[in-house]
Amino acid sequence: MSKVYTGFVVILSISLALLASHETDRKKDETSVHPLKLLKRFGGLDVPLEQSFDNPVDITVCKEGNIYVLDSNDNDIKVFDDDGIFIKSLCREGSGPGELKRPWILQLIGNRIYVVDANNRRIQILNGDGLYENGYKVPVKFGQGMAFDAQGNLSLSTQGLRSRNLVSVYDCQGNLIKEFGELEGKSFDFYDFTRIKDQIKKGNIPDMLKNDLLLIVDTKGCIIAVHTGLNKWKKYTPEGDLLFESEIEPEEYHDIYSEFREQNRKLESSPNIFHPLRYVNDLAMDQDGNLYILLNLSSRMVVLMFADDGTFKGKLGGIEDNIYRIAISPSNDLYALSRDTHFIYKFKLN
């Protein structure tokens, strides 16, 4: 064997070894959970009645560090300072200005509070003190994915129900201004529970569940749509053009899917009841445009982190609790809200 050929074989062997090493490191990075540093915990079940939660459904943090928690059963917004000290409650149950019925989404835009008032099928805009400023009607419903942009325009998941588009967008007066996005599967006119249960039983994802979304809008106005029942997310320009789509394939998805199949097996005798597949509970975005995807795990907190170009950056682990919502403060601290214990956790993002 010539020296030139022998040298080529050695170089090729080294190159293949380096490639294998890089692939191993990549797979290890995709499965490794990087622990978040817990800074504090407050709230819980053993607190005075005025600051206790019944069904907390959303959390956000203002630039001053105050934490706002939306409660869909108490029909109010509870406000805490950065130390977890209760400050006040905003709103009450009802259908008048500043009153809520089963609210679903809470977002701060500048010094205003935007609330999706689901059972009143409207958006309410409050000032920083929680006083009513404006409101308008939109076809929202409890459990639907939606998000506001910096101008107050609302992006709303159609779920494929009587629509051929993935997302519809309404202005701050409630006027439909655009629709965009290609559906996964077909649109549908009504929920066919028999067909849904039959497809679930066969291990398939029905079209009626493929287009449930969580939505978030970045600082450039781009809309990010994460499919809660599929392993993918998509990013669109402010005009609605698809920039890219990215797959999500953590090992935890297998556990969530297995639990989904088992829960529906127990419901086989109930003709109009099914358990939807939800891989994801919530989304958040930091000041650098990184996307954080909270997985739907009942016993531990796991968050996937992606760069604004769709590159996977890591898997973050928090606390052993059923975390339902997350929020990132302007100072890049991550807050996590528990569905079961009603604790609020504050973590430091590295």
pLDDT digits over 296-349, tens only?
999 999 999 999 999 999 999 999 999 999 999 999 999 999 999 999 999 999
The C-alpha atoms of residue 138 and residue 172 are separated, in whole angstroms, by: 10
Written as one letter, the residue type at 83 is D
pLDDT for the residue numbered 1? 54
pLDDT for the residue numbered 18? 44
Q: What are phi and psi of 237, to 5 degrees?
A: -70, 165
How many other CB atoms sit within 10 Å of the CB of residue 25? Answer: 10
CATH superfamily for domain 37-348: TolB, C-terminal domain (2.120.10.30)
pLDDT for the residue numbered 21? 44
pLDDT for the residue numbered 201? 87
Q: Is 294 in contact with 284 (CB distance < 8 Å)?
A: yes
pLDDT for the residue numbered 203? 86
pLDDT for the residue numbered 350? 73
The C-alpha atoms of residue 227 and residue 159 are separated, in whole angstroms, by: 10
Q: Which two tokens stand for residue 47?
A: 């607190």
Q: pLDDT under 50 in the chain at which residues? A: 4-5, 8-12, 14-29
The C-alpha atoms of residue 68 and residue 231 are separated, in whole angstroms, by: 30
Q: Is 175 in contact with 169 (CB distance < 8 Å)?
A: no
pLDDT for the residue numbered 261? 92
pLDDT for the residue numbered 20? 44
SS3 193: helix
pLDDT tens, 50-87? 999 999 999 999 999 999 999 999 999 999 999 999 99
pLDDT for the residue numbered 30? 56
Close Cβ partners of 83 (under 8 Å, ≥ 6 residues apart): 40, 42
Q: What are phi and psi of 198, to 5 degrees?
A: -65, -40
Distances 14 to 3, 7, 8, 291 between C-alpha atoms, Å: 16, 11, 10, 36
pTM for the full model? Answer: 0.90
Q: Tokens 């052993």 map to which residue?
A: 320
pLDDT for the residue numbered 4? 47
